[in-house]
Structure 1
Amino acid sequence: MSQAYSKEEKRSRIRGIVGAASGNLVEWFDFYIYAVFATYFTKALTAPHMDSTTQAIYVWGVFAASFFMRPIGSWLFGRIADKHGRKKSMVISIVLMAISSFLFAALPTYEQVGMAAPFLLLVVRLLQGLSVGGEYGAVATYMSELGLKGQRGFFASFQYVTLSGGQLLASLLGVILLGFLSEQQLLDGGWRIPFVIGGIAAIISLLARSRLEETLSHEDSDKEESGTLKELFKNHWKTFFLVVGYTAAGSLTFYVITVYSKTYLTNLGIDGKTVGFIMTASLFVYMLAQPVFGALSDRIGRRAAMLLYSGLMLIFIYPVMVIAMPHFSHSPFIVALLLIFLMMILSLYTSISGLVKAEMFPPHVRALGVGFSYAVGNAIFGGSAPSVALQFKAAGIENTFFIYVIVMLAICFLCSFKLPKEPEYLQHDH
């Protein structure tokens, strides 16, 4: 059952989705550059007397720490989005990302400033975490409010098209720079180049975002309780914890498959360049799959999609990561296929991740509710994934890490039963 939209209204809504999505692409590109180039700036920004494992644990610890800024970012930008408008929130967050990217490119080395270098790395990364924390809730809310009735899953999937697209572009940039620069040149300062590119891209995106139309009504923005944590926890606390339950497993598997797998494959003895190609090809397929799985959710409902995601991932993640990948590590093609297989299961969640959450909160606390619940689950379970996995590895029990992932997926599976059986959001516009 579809609502009739005029051609101009359709065009206007699609323009808004493209504008929000393009900024999302840049935000996540800037954020993921860290993961792609961490190998090259680790030695420059950490103490030389540390062994390489300790240096890596610090750098990935900083990566995890940035996720703990997300709840603060989601609260701050969620309040702005629910009180002063989605557009204003998205514009401020992209400005903050531009500033922090340029600051990252200008970071002094340990050789220049001593212990101040790892400290400044942490500070700048926390600014990036603050920016991205504000991004998710505002974009998910904006796209859910602009999506065409009966096609919301399809349109909302572009949040993860651009999120994974940002990751893909960061990975692709790593491959390109390795084609033009030697590993030594990247270690000697070439790692700064991608952060400059990210800062420039953020400024370009700012121009697109400044032209967006607002979706927040005056009636919702004028409510005294709009965008407040008091309102969120007083009247919507059950929904909040339910969304944290989805996000915990969703973010954990997302970071295991799209970020930690790079380190995991390298540890299997696959050389750096080959791992780069495997990740780039897999992320490209993953990005293209998002609208397909988003459209599927419009047919089968969000509940069925969430149950399929958590159930299938629970069954397959251990045998694929622990048994199949080491067995086929001699064949990059089969490893890529295995990674893509897991990414397709993950797509059942990521394509509708923001939409499922946005549809559970009313407009006056929607951006805050979506962003804050996502950020809390992400901070505790998502961003910590590479660091926790490395600590399991250091303790000689790396495979046990995947048991932890399975437990979180079981919780997500149970939480998914709480979604409505009859997907009313496929019938009604809001």
Structure 2
Amino acid sequence: MSSSAALPQKPPANSRGSRRLALVGGSLGNLVEWYDWFVYASFAIYFADSFFPGDNPTTKLLNTAGIFAVGFLMRPVGGWILGRAADRHGRKSALTLTVSMMSVAALLIAVAPTYGQAGYFGALVLLLARLLQGLSIGGEYAASATYLTEASARDRRGLGSSFQYVSMTCGQLLGLAILITMQHTLSTDQLESWGWRIPFALGAVFALVVFWLRRRLTETDAFTEEAGDRTESARGTIKALWEHRREAVLVMALTLGGTVAYYTYTTYLTKYLIGSAGMAKSTATLVSFTALTVFALLQPFAGLLSDRIGRRPLLITFAVGCTVGTYPIMTALGSASSYWSALGLSLLALVVVTGYTSINAAVKAELFPTRVRALGVALPYAVANALFGGTAEYVALWFKNSGHEKMFFWYVSGCALVSLVTYVLMPDTRNAALSRAEAQEGAASGAAASSAEAVG
């Protein structure tokens, strides 16, 4: 028997075209969603004075970081509501709804009155907008992770799902690019008085464009197959998720270290370089921008590698590197005196984090059956993010404000250690079947391979 029979067959051209459209549509929408989410953190150093009075800059950043963290509290709610919607009504409809909500939230921040104009009412508008963004992003992660994974060929799911963090990071880069441009075209006073509103207004416009794009997407085969089963009434319910509670706990544990490390070396990095290393705002922003550009380019390569060697080797490499390397890397970054030294250390950290970010969407999606996949990815992931990812920056600033900044480094290492134990004990999910068709195809391939061995 020819050895080619054991190799995956290329999908027909129209299937490849459909997958490319799904990849582009899902990724661009995800980019805009995360642009709107992260631009808050990028511009907080300029609008903190507009909403909170006082003379202590760290206290003002703590207030804005607190609102940033509060947005994460809505992510489990968004994960539950929109994850359920994605499992019951389709990935496409959930993706369209999340970007609509994000557009409204961005517009609210763009027009929020300052403390001088309306007292703390402006901070209240800021809080409400972040809560709406949290609701939206909680559903976005689940819908996009599930959509990108299901829409990819079975032997390319690591590669396909890696574009979630490519688009997430590109959203962050877009925000940083706008910030760098504005830093070179506007004065600091102009940025602090009105310039910070521009990126939020742009975000609302971007989201409207993506709304139109997402309406053109096609539903995934896995969901369409499941939706045809009229006897299945428990799709997307907590009851159905409870049947997979072990996998849900697994998602929380494997997310813990990755989300803390990701937010430490992305959203918090710029503030850390400014506040602890004493770098100029423009230099620190450029370091973050360059490091994140390389980070985004690394994701597909790591995702493709996981399709060849499995998911666990990458996850374990990340967790070991983060557990052992966080303290020395962060300590060195705190005394970095130049752009190049800070960039090199930041890149080292982000290369380690790539072991998690490039494949975490695929791993989580591969743990659950179609009928509860979006909710299974969304809810435990959102809970872990609310407890650890969203609070990472606040915890870091709290330690700094109390005079024990280096305790935060041990905190990050400890979270990574918990995830390391999880990665070592969990099974590799690379060969999981996401649909009945994939399961049947796998069974047929296994039977063919067994027949070939018998003949040989």
Same fold by TM (over 0.5)? yes
Q: Which residue, out of 258, 261, 273, partners 1:250? A: 258
Aligned to 1:420: 427
**Following the alignment from structure 2 to structure 1, what is the Cα–Cα distance between the partners of residues 398 and 259?**
19
Are 1:38 and 2:44 counterparts?
yes
Which amino acid in the other structure matches residue 177 of structure 1?
Answer: M
Aligned to 2:10: 4
Aligned to 2:138: 133
Aligned to 2:197: 192
**Following the alignment from structure 1 to structure 2, what is the Cα–Cα distance between the partners of residues 222 and 164?**
40
Aligned to 2:89: 84
Offset of residue 118 of structure 1: 1.3
Which amino acid in the other structure matches residue 6 of structure 1?
Answer: P
SS of the aligned residue for 1:425 comes to coil
Aligned to 1:319: 328
Please give the residue correspondences for 1:364-383 in structure 2 after superposition, counting only pairs within 5 Å. 364-383=371-390
SS of the aligned residue for 2:408 comes to helix
Q: Which residue, out of 265, 277, 286, partners 2:273? A: 265
Offset of residue 128 of structure 1: 0.8
TM-score, with length taken from structure 1: 0.96
Offset of residue 151 of structure 1: 1.2
1:405–1:220 CA distance, 2 compared to 1 (3 A): farther
RMSD over aligned Cα, in angstroms?
1.6
**Following the alignment from structure 2 to structure 1, what is the Cα–Cα distance between the partners of residues 203 and 122?**
21
Whether the 8 Å contact between 2:367 and 2:429 is mirrored in structure 1 is: no
Residues 212-221 or 152-161, more deviating: 212-221
Offset of residue 194 of structure 1: 0.4
Q: How many residues align?
A: 426
**Following the alignment from structure 1 to structure 2, what is the Cα–Cα distance between the partners of residues 229 and 184?**
50
**Following the alignment from structure 2 to structure 1, what is the Cα–Cα distance between the partners of residues 430 and 116?**
58
1:181–1:245 CA distance, 2 compared to 1 (3 A): same
Q: Which residue, out of 282, 291, 307, partners 1:298? A: 307
Are 1:26 and 2:32 counterparts?
yes
Q: Share of identical aligned residues, percent?
A: 39
Aligned to 1:63: 68
**Following the alignment from structure 2 to structure 1, what is the Cα–Cα distance between the partners of residues 125 and 334?**
38
Which amino acid in the other structure matches residue 325 of structure 2?
Answer: F
Q: Which residue, out of 185, 188, 192, partners 1:183? A: 188
In the TM superposition, what whole-angstrom CA distance separates every residue of 1:70-93 from its partner, at most 9, and x where no partner exists? Answer: 000011110110000100000010
**Following the alignment from structure 1 to structure 2, what is the Cα–Cα distance between the partners of residues 56 and 331?**
24
In the TM superposition, what whole-angstrom CA distance separates every residue of 1:242-286 from its partner, at most 9, and x where no partner exists? Answer: 110011111100000111111111121111111111111001000
Which amino acid in the other structure matches residue 19 of structure 1?
Answer: G
Higher RCO by CA contacts (8 Å cutoff, separation 6 or greater) = 1
**Can you give the 5+ residue segments of structure 2 that lack an aligned partner in the other structure?**
1-6, 440-456
**Can you give the 5+ residue segments of structure 1 that lack an aligned partner in the other structure?**
none
Q: Which residue, out of 127, 130, 135, partners 1:122? A: 127
Q: Which residue, out of 12, 19, 23, partners 1:17? A: 23
Which structure has the larger Rg? Answer: 2
Whether the 8 Å contact between 1:82 and 1:221 is mirrored in structure 2 is: no
Please give the residue correspondences for 1:94-105 in structure 2 after superposition, counting only pairs within 5 Å. 94-105=99-110
Instruction: After the TM superposition, list the runs of 4 or more consecutive aligned residues in structure 1 that deviate by more than 3 angstroms.
Output: 219-222, 425-430
**Following the alignment from structure 1 to structure 2, what is the Cα–Cα distance between the partners of residues 295 and 337?**
25
Aligned to 1:226: 235
**Following the alignment from structure 2 to structure 1, what is the Cα–Cα distance between the partners of residues 430 and 19?**
23
Are 1:277 and 2:282 counterparts?
no
